[in-house]
Amino acid sequence: MAVPRPLIITSDSVLMDDLLRLAAAAGVEVQVAHDLESARRSWRQAPLVVVDMVNARGVAGVLSRREGVLLVSCEADPDAWRLAVSIGAEHVACLPDAERWLIGRLAEGGEGPSREGRVMTVTGAVGGAGASTLAAALALAAARHERVLLIDGDSGGGGLDLVLGAEQQQGARWPDLSQAQGRINAGSLASALPCSDGVFVLSAARDGQVDIDPAVLQAVIESGVRGFDMVIVDVPVRSHHLSAVLAMSASCLVLVPNHTRAVVAARHMLTSIIDPWADVVLRADPRGLSETVVAGALQRPIAASIPWHRALSSRADDGESPRGHDAFTRSCENLLRLVASPVRRAA
Q: What percent of the chain has pLDDT over 70?
A: 90
Indicate whether 163 and 272 sit together in one domain. yes
pLDDT digits (tens, 9 = 90+) for 132-188: 999 999 999 899 889 999 999 987 777 899 888 888 888 999 999 887 877 787 877
Q: Residue 106 maps to which CATH number? A: 3.40.50.2300
pLDDT single digits (tens) 248-266: 999 999 999 999 999 999 9
Give the per-residue pLDDT at 187. 77
Residue 102: C-alpha distances to residues 4, 45, 183, 215 (Å): 18, 20, 12, 21
Which of these ranges, 30-44, 155-169, 193-207, 284-298, has the smallest mean pLDDT? Answer: 155-169
Is residue 272 located within the same domain as residue 133? yes
Closest CA to 138 of 242, 268, 22, 252: 252
Give the C-alpha separation, 43 to 59, whole Å. Answer: 11
CATH code for the domain of 231? 3.40.50.300
Same domain (yes/no): 98, 242: no
Q: Please give the pLDDT value at position 182.
A: 77
pLDDT given at position 190: 85
Task: Give the mean pLDDT of the chain.
Answer: 86
pLDDT of amino acid 346: 43
On whether residue 344 sits in a domain, the answer given is no
Better-predicted residue by pLDDT, 72 or 319: 72
100 part of a folded domain: yes
Q: Which amino acid is at 81?
A: W
Question: By mean pLDDT, which of 70-74, 153-157, 299-303 is the weakest?
Answer: 153-157
Domain assignment of residue 73, yes or no: yes
What is the rounded distance in angstroms from the CA atom of residue 284 to the CA atom of residue 218?
33
Q: How confident is the model at residue 320 (pLDDT cuts 50, 70, 90)?
A: low
CB 90 within 8 A of CB 69: yes
Distance CA 7, CA 184 (A): 20
E runs forming strands in 74-174: 91-94, 118-124, 148-152
* 99 and 134 fall within a common domain: no
Is 346 inside a domain boundary? no
- Identify the domain boundary among 79, 111, 143: 111
Do residue 136 and residue 162 come from a single domain? yes
Residue that is last in its domain, among 111, 133, 164: 111
191 and 270 assigned to the same domain: yes
233 plus 307 within the same structural domain: yes
pLDDT in tens, 93-131: 999 999 988 988 888 787 776 678 899 999 999 988 899
**123-132: per-residue pLDDT in tens?**
999 988 899 9
Residue 347: pLDDT band (50, 70, 90) is very low
CA distance 134 to 189: 24
Q: Are residue 58 and residue 164 in the same domain, yes or no?
A: no
Which domain does 72 fall in, by range?
7-111
Same domain, 97 and 166: no
Domain end among 70, 89, 111: 111
Q: Is residue 345 part of a domain?
A: no
170/297 same-domain check: yes
Cα end-to-end span (Å), the chain = 39
Residue 277 burial by Cβ neighbours in a 10 Å radius (0-12, 13-18, 19+): middle
Shared domain for 54 and 177, answered yes or no, is no
Does 240 reside within a domain? Answer: yes
Rounded to whole angstroms, the maximal C-alpha distance in the chain is 78
Asked whether residue 1 is domain-assigned, the answer is: no
* Number of domains, the chain: 2
SS3 label, residue 308? coil
Tell me, yes or no, whether 347 lies in a domain.
no
Statement to judge: residues 95 and 140 lie in one domain: no
CB 145 within 8 A of CB 180: no
